Amino acid sequence: MNTPISSIIYFIIAAMFGAVGQYLYKAGAESSNGLLLSYLTNTKLIGGVLCYVTVMVLFVAAFKKGGSLTVLYPIYASTFIWAAVIGLLAYGTPIKIINVIGMLLIIGGMYLMGK
């Protein structure tokens, strides 16, 4: 079964939204006081939830178009790469050579899983 390019694009976009959602969860956690009300009214946390809702919508749309699990889910693993880039830009978290090697392994695994 061939996976449509539109399904692949949806999953790439979903991976970006997933990484932004992770960033918003971290930023929201840092700005909350630990009480339930501060979680429910925290715009960063709400933004993170909306990112993950968007991820699920994109997943469904990709599968509706005929996307294959073995092709698409490895693409979503690129979320870890996007999250590292966001961490670098937002927090100055360095991306070390070992991280780059891990990213290359993720990309290699994505390629192999899609075969």
Q: What are 64-83's pLDDT values in tens digits?
A: 998 888 888 888 989 999 99
Residue 9: its H or E element: helix 5-31
Would you say the C-alpha torsion 89, 93, 85, 38 has a positive or negative sign? negative
Parent domain of 34: 5-113
The per-residue pLDDT for 67 is: 81
Tell whether the model's pLDDT for residue 85 goes beyond 80: yes
What is the pLDDT, as a whole number, of residue 40? Answer: 92
Residue pLDDT, tens place only, 28-67:
999 999 889 989 999 999 999 999 999 999 999 999 998 8
Q: Produce one character per residue of 72-104: b if its CB has 16 or more CB atoms within 10 Å, e if not.
A: bebbbebbbbbbbebbeeeeeeeeeeebeeebe
Model confidence over 17-33: pLDDT tens digits?
999 999 999 999 999 99
Tell me how far apart the alpha carbons of residues 85 and 78 are, in angstroms, rounded to a whole number. Answer: 11
Q: Token pair for residue 68?
A: 């294959």
Helix (H, G, I), strand (E, B) or coil at 1: coil
Residue 1 has pLDDT above 70, yes or no: no
- pLDDT at residue 114 in the model: 74
Number of domains observed in the structure of the chain: 1
pLDDT of residue 7: 93
Mean pLDDT of the chain: 92
Q: How far apart are CA 71 and CA 86, in angstroms?
A: 25
Q: At what angle do helices 5-31 and 79-91 cross, to 10 degrees?
A: 40
